[in-house]
Structure 1
Amino acid sequence: MGTIPHEITIDILGRLSVKDLLRFKCVSKPWCSSIEDPYFIKLHLSHSLKTNTNHSLILRHREYHFFSVNCDSLETTHILNHPFGEPKKTIQILGSCNGLLALVNHNDSIFLWNPSTRESQVLTSNETEFASPSPWIWFYVSQCSSPSIYIARSTYYGFGYDPISDDYKLVRMVQSCGLDDEYFHSEAKVYSLRSNCWRRIKDVCFYLKFSREFGFLANNALHWMVFRTPESRNKELVGFDLESEEFRFLELPDCCLDEAFLIDIKAMGGDICLTATFRDFSNVDVWIMKEYGVKESWIKLISCYQPEFIPDSPFAVPLAFSKNGDKVLLLIAYKWCNWGSRSDNFVWYDLGSQRVEKVEIRGLPASFDVDLYVDSLVPLNSNALMINNEMPPEVMFSE
């Protein structure tokens, strides 16, 4: 029996799951070398993104428990052992890109983590260059008879990939301000995985009013909802181009935003997706920006009415398209309001028939935050401090 040509072997391997590829590294040294080759890693990732395969949901329950759900089957949850270890402290996901997750804990320590390969890396520490007080506390000005000054600190993060420089970047924006307008400091920095260091960039031209928010990645840019002026009550969408490292405002659709009770905006299918839930919970509109930065390219993807749409559910958040693009996976969440013992769950929404199909997932926690990531072999910087999890596979992922 003749040997299979190398090109055909690579093509076959490129269609497999990361879990299978990690096992097949033990087949032979040539296979191990091929699977670890940077070209193959990019080939495998590109195939997963183009075919919408090897995607998973990552669920965060009770602020420190993590689970994954394979999007190809959506049958059961698998326990994930995150790199922060066992302490039951708050851990948040700053962003997800190409299989890498950026995490921050209660001490503001930041890790990059690939849940598929179980590699993680702690980022170099980065203090603000101005003396910044702790968030949301009172300060008394020494040698001054003036009343207390209330100083608030806001920190916004975003994580993404710049294909031009072939580099993963983490953005951190910090603002501290007082009610009397006499105290204001602002700082923006970017961390580069390639150089493993932080550097200061041009300061932001907008205002951050919440203690902590995380941006989303779409069209090679990171995005946040911010305020254009300190007096503004309406949030606006701003993007940060990861190549030019410049900020720009993007216009939202004319979709009665003033009447909406809740606005949720994120990426779906590579495009910016906006969900507007109206004050009387009568309907939910989902919009997609088909041409980046062009206001006229916003199209209404879904306009659904309740209770005909999803009975007794005020919040429906779109997450992903199905493989052939004819359905949308929605998170149905109850945690923002008092609805008794209702549990968060998922449904498929058929764009053609406008029908809803409930998704039954075993081991689903009652409430959770959810992010989407692609299973990949993307490595972390070997020159930086690496933390490799030595737990056996059965501990890392429950079957």
Structure 2
Amino acid sequence: MSSSILLDELFVEILSWIPVKDLMRLRCVSKSWNSLVFDPTFIKLHLQRSSKNTDTLLTFRDYENDESRYCASPCSIHGFLDNPSSTIDACHRFNHDYTVLGVCNGLVCLQDSYRGDEIEEYWVRFWNPATRVMSEDSPRIRLRSSDYNYPYLFMFGFGYNDWSDTYQVVLLDNKSHKMDVSVLCLGETCWRKMLTCPSFPTLSLHGAAVSGTVNWLALPELCSGYRWETVSVDELVIFSYDLKNVRYSYLSMPDGLLEVPPDVPVLEVLKGCLCLSHHHGKRFVVWLMREFGVEKSWTHLLNISYENLHIHGFIHAFPTLPVILCVSEDDDLMLLANYDSAEFIRYNKRDDRIDRHELFNDDKFYFFSYDYVQSLVLPCRN
């Protein structure tokens, strides 16, 4: 092997460890450097290196000047834990009323919609915050409102199939007697129906993507209208769609969940694991499925009274469910957002104490966080 080839390989190896922000500057050095940065093989290699340094992407709605807009802010977990307000101040405020469907490998899926009297249309864009590149609008999917009876609605999710290297937007299209699962892959020009299963209420707003699956809270035992207060624990499951094998399955709730919470639990992804948050008495409970698909791996991440969180004086029997935004690598520090008092709470689990309370403006709502890694992944296919 010639010395020039060895030098090129060494050069690629070194660059694969450089942060995205610096690579975006370096690509201006020459045409060959620019080509390398956007080469699919190099993008995958760089992602493998970057995925060991997971950050978080904070999203929220900002009601500024009587206008609601989604905001997003990538940040390090350490920096977010230390100073959440600075993360908000550095946010990107979208000029359009997008909704964030999910984040995979540094790629953010943004949804937009049109709602008429009879027809609703939905489409997405893909955005890479690190490279600041955004795709054009995807093909639209059109749904007729009269085809649906509450609670038979349609839910979206966003996931990644590493076997086929495809980023997929998943639609659960719930009609009166059946549910169609349709998929739009990044770079494709049409939605494809993948499978059909019995219709049932889905409870999660957006699907949670873990290990090549997208997951929603669901009530598959119910095939007609329902009231949450009449639901039993054995009716509550997680509907899991497998992107690679194009099939679905059901995951059980944690064994320790002995009664249905007063409000619908929140299903999300935290530290690469399915995360379930809910009220239990006057306590806030968070579970992690440490090993995806292994139901006995559900463990308590947090089980704390609202009094210990210094959440007092709420009007109803229960406060608005707090949101857990990020957790340190050793699980000792956690950052929560509490809407009732419009504040961030940093909880030290090891010492069982509140480290810090930090107020945020009460015109900011719906805080949500996603596992995030800076990547070069392109929001559109070459």
Q: Same fold (TM over 0.5)?
A: yes
Once the two structures are superposed, the pairs formed by residues 1-399 of structure 1 within 5 Å of their partners are 5-53=7-55, 55-62=56-63, 63-71=68-76, 72-74=78-80, 75=83, 76=86, 77-82=89-94, 85-86=95-96, 90-107=97-114, 108-121=122-135, 122-128=137-143, 132-134=144-146, 154-177=153-176, 184=177, 186-208=179-201, 213-228=205-220, 229-231=222-224, 233=231, 234-258=235-259, 260-262=261-263, 263-279=265-281, 281=282, 283-312=283-312, 314=319, 315-322=321-328, 324-334=329-339, 339=340, 342-347=341-346, 349-358=347-356, 366-372=364-370, 373-382=372-381
Paired AA for residue 174 in structure 1: D
In structure 1, C-alpha distance between the alignment counterparts of 2:147 and 2:333, rounded to whole Å: 38
Q: Return the offset for 1:159.
A: 0.6
Task: Give a deviation string over 1:247-277, Cα, whole Å, max 9, x none.
Answer: 1000111223525334222111111112232
Measure how far apart 1:174 and its partner are. Answer: 1.6
Q: Give the drift of 1:60.
A: 3.1
Task: Say if 1:96 and 1:102, in contact at 8 Å, map to a contact too.
Answer: yes
Contact 1:276 1:284 (8 Å CA) reproduced: yes
d(CA) in 2 for partners of 1:47, 1:355: 35
Q: Tell me the TM-score normalised to structure 1 length.
A: 0.75
RMSD: 3.1
SS in structure 2 opposite 1:39? helix
Q: Quote how far apart the aligned CAs of 1:37 are.
A: 2.1
Q: Return the alpha-carbon distance in structure 1 between the equivalents of residues 360 and 74 of structure 2.
A: 10
TM-score, normalised by the number of residues in structure 2: 0.78
What displacement does 1:370 show? 1.9
Name stretches of at least 5 consecutive residues in structure 1 with no aligned partner.
137-149, 178-183, 384-399
- Identical-pair percentage: 26
- Residue 359 of structure 1 deviates from its aligned partner by 7.2
Give the C-alpha shift of residue 169 in structure 1: 0.9
Code of the residue aligned with 2:39 in structure 1: it is: D
Q: 5+ unaligned residues in a row in structure 2: which ranges? A: 115-121
Alpha-carbon distance in structure 1 between the residues aligned to 2:361 and 2:36: 36
Contact 2:336 2:344 in 1 (8 A): yes
**Structure 2 CA distance, aligned partners of 1:354 and 1:362?**
23
**Cα distance between partner residues in 2 of 1:95 and 1:333:** 22
Q: Supply the AA of the counterpart residue of 2:330.
A: G
Q: Could you say if the C-alpha distance between residues 25 and 249 of structure 1 is closer, same or farther in structure 2, counting changes exceeding 3 Å?
A: same
Shift of 1:8: 4.8
The 1:111/1:69 distance shift into structure 2, 3 A limit, reads closer
Contact 1:59/1:68 (8 A) holds in 2:
no
| SS in structure 1 at match of 2:44 | helix
3-state SS, counterpart of residue 50 of structure 1: coil
Q: Structure 1 residues 56, 126: CA separation in 2 closer, same or farther (over 3 Å shift)?
A: closer
The whole-number CA distance in structure 2 between the counterparts of 1:151 and 1:235 is 18
Q: What letter matches 1:30 in structure 2?
A: S
Cα separation, 2, equivalents of 1:328 and 1:187: 41
Distance 2:141 2:351 in 1: 51
C-alpha separation between the residues in 1 aligned to 2:140 and 2:375? 27
**C-alpha deviation, 1:160, in angstroms:** 0.6
Give 3-state SS (helix, strand or coil) of 1:117's partner. Answer: coil
Determine if contact 2:179/2:200 at 8 Å carries over to the other structure: no
Q: Would the aligned equivalents of 1:153 and 1:176 in 2 still touch at CA under 8 Å?
A: yes
How many Å separate the matches in 1 of 2:152 and 2:253?
Answer: 27
Q: 1:20 to 1:356 in 2, by over 3 A?
A: farther
> Secondary structure of 1:96's partner?
strand
Per-residue deviation, 1:41: 1.6
Q: CA deviation at 1:152?
A: 6.3
Give the aligned partner of residue 119 of structure 2: none
What displacement does 1:317 show? Answer: 2.8
- Equivalenced residue count is 342
